[in-house]
Amino acid sequence: MVTIADVAKHAGVSPSTVSYVLSGKRSISEQTRSRVEESISALGYHPHAGARSLASSRANVIALVLPLRTDMHVPILMQFATSVVTAAREHDHDVLLLTNDEGPDGLRRVARSALVDAVIVMDIELNDSRVPVLREVGLPAVLIGFPADPAGLTCVDWDFVAAAARCVDHLADLGHREIAFIGPPSAVFARGTGFAQRTTSGFESAVARRGVRATVRPCDPSHSAVRDTVKRLFDDHPALTGLIVHNEAAVAPLLETLRGLGRHVPQHVSVVAMCPEDLAGQVSPRLTAVPIPAEEIGRRAVELLMGKLERAAGVPPATLIAPHLLPGESTAAPPA
Amino acid sequence: MVTIADVAKHAGVSPSTVSYVLSGKRSISEQTRSRVEESISALGYHPHAGARSLASSRANVIALVLPLRTDMHVPILMQFATSVVTAAREHDHDVLLLTNDEGPDGLRRVARSALVDAVIVMDIELNDSRVPVLREVGLPAVLIGFPADPAGLTCVDWDFVAAAARCVDHLADLGHREIAFIGPPSAVFARGTGFAQRTTSGFESAVARRGVRATVRPCDPSHSAVRDTVKRLFDDHPALTGLIVHNEAAVAPLLETLRGLGRHVPQHVSVVAMCPEDLAGQVSPRLTAVPIPAEEIGRRAVELLMGKLERAAGVPPATLIAPHLLPGESTAAPPA
DNA sequence: CTGAAAGCGCTAACAT
DNA sequence: ATGTTAGCGCTTTCAG
């Protein structure tokens, strides 16, 4: 293995000089620096991660805790993960993948063993068992989502309240007077996931503000559940002209059901989706959507974490990513 | 931080004894062992990963290289990833997540820096640029998929040849005499991904063996492409009664198209899918499928890797995971 | 601007 | 069956 001593010898300097060239923690003459850099690439030197971590108490690795559970939309998880890895690499960090089956102990283990310097925890529940562990081990963390008591934590999430409101405003602006919200399965609400409740409350305050008649329906992702929900919705509310769907798995069945019912989109009924951008673009007609910016959330989480690692202070405790509307072909003015 | 010296002092033994209790590399009296173990848990001791890696040249971390590209079915990727993490943890290893955008350099970096001991590389192409790097740095590796020249490598994959044959046999056993294969987009073939070609050849030799008339069609995942492909298929082959689909994104559109054409499944046409088990179960009717065992492949990859790490020899160079047929409601005898 | 040297916490000979 | 100790490769004082 090529060590820092090999590089030092090859460049005719001391090991510490090589170390300082690498870290930039003290000034080096231009001449020395370039000689060292040449030696580094000539020998193909890479510092030993363990030795570095031992000497500096910084592993340059962050952990990413993903839920194993698959009731979340998987492609979104994956987008998160890749954006976290990409962003971490830009800050010279690697990413250790943890699943939730080790539970809170997994966090304790990687923290105490100094395997990682910090952690990003996804899929936060209102009363999350991992939060106490985070406080206990003092591991710098960024949570994606908000627990019931976020005091002392750094959290980032999409602004679900604003996202739901944006959907309502879009439909109201087009002239719709009666709309419905097709949400996640009721199990998601039951689990105590904050986002579902925030979305609903954003929807409800927006419809109140706009004076629009509205209905909220949770919906299971199966084809038949979607069909039943939609049919009952139109039976109960014949004047319904606008739908907001916040349920990835329900998107395709919803469109198919509407087609089956002879209700054309957007001539008879408008549809706005809160879903990943690629899903919105894949279906026909292309959906007007308020896309979930997974990539941006992942990147922001990494940036917040790096902020905590470097400055410790001045990192905002709560970050809400603003939604934006992506126009598609699924919304129009309601029929006269 | 709690160190091994703290534990040693607390238990009244030497540091090396603590180390040996942990590693089991020499025999310890029952008395000493239990005293040490009590101290360990009393103090909440976890060995420092960096120190351990430095002293033993074993990081107990493996890298998992995932393709960033999203033209692969994402949930499968995720299943792989979680099964790799779970299996690795059972062998006391952690998993570092790498994406392909660092390319071969990423592998070189993690290997040279001793960040990881070994690597699992997914989505292997026939002429994969990462293979030379693996040979160059001598990093123990398991490839998921086969490159054109697998000499000296350890590869594991699903037996696509047998899987395609299994589909053909199932339809032929039911009495179908004319079938078609709806495959991945032609871009996948063009990219030099071995599995697409192996599947096709498995299909073709099976139909020859069974004396069944057959057609092969690549297919883009868009709804309209699927519709066109299927329509043309029935125009060209009016006697067609069996379909094999190996294209996750095409499954739902295919069923919808058949419904639109008034061809009932399985009364008029039988459908067998090579796809994840959950997808097969979600659609209506529930598909007869030869499911891709992502979990098993991931687990097996880890086991092979651990074998290489421990024994270096005796690890089989090629492992093919046998397919099995999962009966559903989408296949039956052809109409009389 | 650069060197020398003391550890960081652990493992694995080498002792006994 | 257990203790002693010399590193593993790097960072970071402390000196100059």
- pLDDT tens, residue by residue, A27-84: 999 999 999 999 999 999 999 999 999 999 999 999 999 986 656 678 888 889 999 9
Write the burial class of residue A298 (CB in 10 Å: 0-12 exposed, 13-18 middle, 19+ buried): buried
A102 DSSP assignment: G
Q: Identify residue B118 by its one-letter amino acid code.
A: A
Long-range contacts of B257-265 (CB under 8 A, 24+ apart): B257/B226, B257/B227, B257/B230, B257/B231, B258/B230, B260/B227, B261/B230, B261/B231, B261/B234, B263/B234, B265/B330
Q: Measured in angstroms, what separates residue A25's CA from nucleotide C14's C1'?
A: 40
Q: Measured in angstroms, what separates residue A26's CA from nucleotide D14's C1'?
A: 15
Between CA B61 and CA B94 the distance in angstroms is 5
Contact status, residue B230 vs residue B245, Cβ threshold 8 Å:
no
Nearest to A120 by CA among A304, A265, A334, A276: A304
Pairing mode, strands A213-217 and A242-245: unpaired
Q: Is the peptide bond before A266 cis (omega within 30 degrees of 0)?
A: yes
Q: Inform me whether the C-beta atom of residue A22 falls under 8 Å from chain B C-beta atoms.
A: no
Higher confidence at residue A252 or residue A62? A62
- A11 CB less than 7 Å from any atom of strand D: no
Pairing mode, strands B94-99 and B288-289: unpaired
Report the 10 Å Cβ neighbour count for A132. Answer: 10
Q: Measured in angstroms, what separates residue B18's CA from nucleotide D2's C1'?
A: 11
| The pair of three-digit structure tokens given for residue B269, joined into one six-digit string | 């046409």
Question: pLDDT tens digits, chain B, 336 residues: what are they?
Answer: 999 999 999 999 999 999 999 999 999 999 999 999 999 999 999 999 999 999 999 999 999 999 866 566 788 888 899 999 999 999 999 999 999 888 899 999 999 999 999 999 998 888 889 999 999 999 999 999 999 999 999 999 999 999 999 999 999 999 999 999 999 988 877 776 778 889 999 999 999 999 999 999 999 877 788 999 999 999 999 999 999 999 988 998 899 899 889 999 999 999 999 999 988 988 889 999 999 999 999 999 999 999 999 876 789 999 999 999 999 999 999 998
Q: Which alpha helices (DSSP H) does chain B contain, by range? A: 4-11, 15-23, 30-43, 49-56, 74-90, 104-112, 130-137, 160-174, 186-190, 194-210, 223-236, 248-260, 277-282, 294-311
- B55 CB less than 7 Å from any atom of strand D: yes
Q: What is the mean pLDDT of residues A319-331?
A: 97
Q: Where in chain A is the domain with CATH 1.10.260.40?
A: 4-56
Q: Do B222 and A282 touch (CB under 8 A)?
A: yes
The whole-number pLDDT of residue A191 equals 73
Backbone angles phi, psi at B198, to 5 degrees: -65, -40
Q: Which of residues 1-60 of B touch strand C (CB under 7 A)?
A: 1, 3-5, 15-16, 18-20, 22-23, 25, 45, 47-48, 51-52, 54-56, 58
Could you give the maximum distance between any two Cα atoms of chain B, in Å? 84
- A29 CB less than 7 Å from any atom of strand D: no
Q: Where in chain B is the domain with CATH 3.40.50.2300?
A: 61-158+295-321, 160-289
The answer for residues whose C-beta is within 8 angstroms of residue A88's C-beta and 6 or more apart is A62, A94, A95, A302
The whole-number pLDDT of residue B38 equals 95
Residue B336 Cα distances to B231, B236, B241, B267, angstroms:
22, 20, 11, 10
Between CA B186 and CA B153 the distance in angstroms is 28
The whole-number pLDDT of residue B223 equals 78
Residue A9 Cα distances to A5, A36, A52, B109, angstroms:
6, 10, 19, 22
Could you give the maximum distance between any two Cα atoms of chain A, in Å? 84
Of the candidates B54, B97, B110, which has its C-beta nearest A54's C-beta?
A: B54
Lowest mean pLDDT segment, chosen from A3-17, A202-216, A274-288, B188-202: B188-202
Which of B72, B94, B98, B220 to mutate to test binding with chain A, by most A CBs within 10 Å of its CB?
Answer: B94
Between CA B76 and CA B78 the distance in angstroms is 5
Contact status, residue A128 vs residue A108, Cβ threshold 8 Å:
no
The answer for residues whose C-beta is within 8 angstroms of residue A271's C-beta and 6 or more apart is A242, A243, A244, A245, A254, A255, A258, A265, A287, A288, A330, A331
Residue that the structure tokens 């305050």 belong to: A205
Q: What is the mean pLDDT of residues A294-300?
A: 95
Residues on chain B touching A70 (C-beta within 8 angstroms)? 75, 78, 278
Nearest to B185 by CA among B294, B73, B285, B281: B73
Taken in order B89, A115, B15, B39, the sign of the CA dihedral is negative
CATH number of the structural domain A61-158+295-321: 3.40.50.2300
Nearest to A81 by CA among B84, B113, B81: B81
The CA-CA-CA angle for residues B23, B24, B26, to 5°, reads 120
| Range 172-211 of A in CB contact (< 8 A) with B | none
Q: Inform me whether the C-beta atom of residue B96 falls under 8 Å from chain A C-beta atoms.
A: yes
Residue B68 Cα distances to A75, A143, A296, B141, B193, angstroms:
12, 23, 16, 19, 16
Q: Measured in angstroms, what separates residue A201's CA from nucleotide D10's C1'?
A: 54
The whole-number pLDDT of residue B189 equals 77
Q: Do B68 and A77 touch (CB under 8 A)?
A: no
A200 DSSP assignment: H
Of the candidates A50, A78, A101, which has its C-beta nearest B59's C-beta?
A: A50
Chain C positions within 7 A of any protein Cβ atom are: 1-5, 7-13
**Closest alpha carbon within chain B to A221:** B282
Between CA A94 and CA A61 the distance in angstroms is 5
pTM for the structure as a whole = 0.92
Residue B244 is inside which H or E element, if any?
strand B242-245
Residue B65 Cα distances to A63, A121, B102, angstroms:
16, 21, 10
- A112 CB less than 7 Å from any atom of strand C: no
| Residue pLDDT, tens place only, A115-146 | 999 999 998 888 889 999 999 999 999 999 99
Among 3.30.450.20, 1.20.1250.20, 1.10.260.40, 3.40.630.10, name the CATH number for the domain at A4-56. 1.10.260.40
Nearest to A299 by CA among A274, A270, A276, A319: A319
Q: Inform me whether the C-beta atom of residue A25 falls under 8 Å from chain B C-beta atoms.
A: no
The CA-CA-CA angle for residues A38, A43, A47, to 5°, reads 95
Q: What is the mean pLDDT of residues A232-248?
A: 95
| The pair of three-digit structure tokens given for residue A184, joined into one six-digit string | 């996640």
Residues on chain B touching A255 (C-beta within 8 angstroms)? none
Write the burial class of residue A208 (CB in 10 Å: 0-12 exposed, 13-18 middle, 19+ buried): exposed
Contact status, residue A305 vs residue A142, Cβ threshold 8 Å:
yes
Chain D positions within 7 A of any protein Cβ atom are: 1-5, 7-13
- A114 CB less than 7 Å from any atom of strand D: no
Q: Do A97 and B85 touch (CB under 8 A)?
A: yes
Report the 10 Å Cβ neighbour count for A234. Answer: 17
Contact status, residue B99 vs residue B66, Cβ threshold 8 Å:
yes
The whole-number pLDDT of residue B71 equals 61
CATH number of the structural domain B160-289: 3.40.50.2300
**Closest alpha carbon within chain B to A283:** B223
Contact status, residue A173 vs residue A208, Cβ threshold 8 Å:
no
- B27 CB less than 7 Å from any atom of strand D: yes
